[in-house]
Structure 1
């Protein structure tokens, strides 16, 4: 565009010279000379104005030229103030975020595996794989283990377990647990009938053994236990089940209010966390998880096939159709954005201001000129043409008078 604008100015100069040489051949050539002469004046004036923004024209220290390099620091401060006043004030961010529907946009992105999404997914996958491979896995896994262990140590789990158990009993969600215990007891009894028979045989006298009454007694005991377990399984109101429920209710209360029981739970928790076997198990889980993440990152298209893909599409449809969930997510995003503006807005403004101040004058000039240079060259072209038309108008008025 600079070449076009300069070429047009050179063309006007050539037309002017030609018109000046042949102006006596016809009166109309005078209009052509007036056009080209005024066009040169307009083009040169706008060239001077455009150049004066970024540098000294012809390297001459003319006053009020090289405006942008001389005012670099003021531009940095003005731009930083513009960002702060129009983008990074919490109230402004909150107002702008009111119009942003992040949840439904994410829902559409998840529900529609389009071409753009594939490129984005591949790029994110490569980045995630690079990060996972570059990190020290033992240190990272150990750090994650320590963070998790520290959080668990700081968390008193006994009251949480007590409240969870009490809530489950209030909604009868503990019944499957009792059913499972009864079923487990039936299997244990069936698998250990020989132990019951051996115990009865050992504790029976010689007469009972000689007469075989020990075997009969053992059978009676086993049959009685089977009938008791069957009755408990079939009758939700069985007295023993009621006793078990009383025990669970007492346990829930003790977990919340009994200091000794809470201390026992905490001691068991800390002993479990200090167990080397748990550390080995955690590192195995961590390595398996990391390997799975690497497989996903390296082949994101395969990840989004089958059940996982269906789950992602279902999540996307839910985000688009569930107004309450979408509003909850949007509210969370708005609060996060407002919080980020409040916490980091001043830092972002200082970063922009200090970065521009740190640029040398040539860098500032080059970047701004590249951003708006095309339009500035159109100013030169328009100045050349408009100047020429003004010159024609003046020449016409002079000819008529």
Structure 2
């Protein structure tokens, strides 16, 4: 069972890593995630820990944020101690990181390099909304050392963007991708969402075509999920919009996979396709491998050697704690072997490489054999001792995970 750590009930001078969490620190891949919680407006489907940029109090706004995040990086460096792990990936997410000036994002990355050993081939990603970047800002980010950009496109259909409350025009995402490539970004991703109420087969085909016309080597495509408490959920509950249809979502996924495969993209995680191994998002692979990462920012989650913790959610509370010299950590839990094995199955099954059958219980292995018979797991991989999803299995991955872990 997860073990809560009571020492984090009140602000503490520093998070303490138990010896068990330090084991393997030097040999396990390590990444840094920096959460930027600001958005110009809130998208109707989004339930992330984000805030419109000007609604927060002193110390919590955009102008002060880079310095606040750097303060937490200093705390992370102190906690990890003199033998700090080498940073293999940095991911700046949000929110909309590119609402901050490019110089601020460069300063955060500069602090990472000052405080930590950094791999020569470090992957440095920023998320961005298409309307918040320019050729000049992209050139500055590239100059600072960012190697990868992930642009939120969602759809090429104007009426679909309107339902999602997205502000950019339909062609802006592909244009921003071209600007990023021209600025020298080695890897460019476009994010898509499928199954939005009112989206037609032709709309989805047009979105895929627009992606493939852009200079990208990675595509993420996610089914629309209606999250409680969002504007989209309220509109559906009032009958203004229909709930996304599961059969339509499955059709959209199959259409995406076929279209992307024909253009040279291979899936490597259920919702992610890349043109090569080098084009995969190594930071996300670090999550899926249950490796180590430190999350900086309000509400950010971290994991080191089975210790998992998360920061206070509100940017004002986060900034206030750091300003007072206190830890921003809200709470933590120490995972036991059973918890960690469960997460390995949940995450690993979604990957193209799958997972070793030995990670499953005896019941799980029996159910995996049944899943082979049902066409959800590949028989040849099963014969080699691995559980690997078939094309049909990818459509039912979440349910299969539950079967194998119950």
Class of the TM-score when normalised by the shorter of the 2 chains: under 0.3
TM-score (norm 1): 0.20
Q: Which has the higher strand share?
A: 2
- The structure showing larger relative contact order (alpha-carbon pairs under 8 Å, at least 6 residues apart) is 1
Rg larger in structure: 1
TM-score where L is the length of structure 2: 0.19
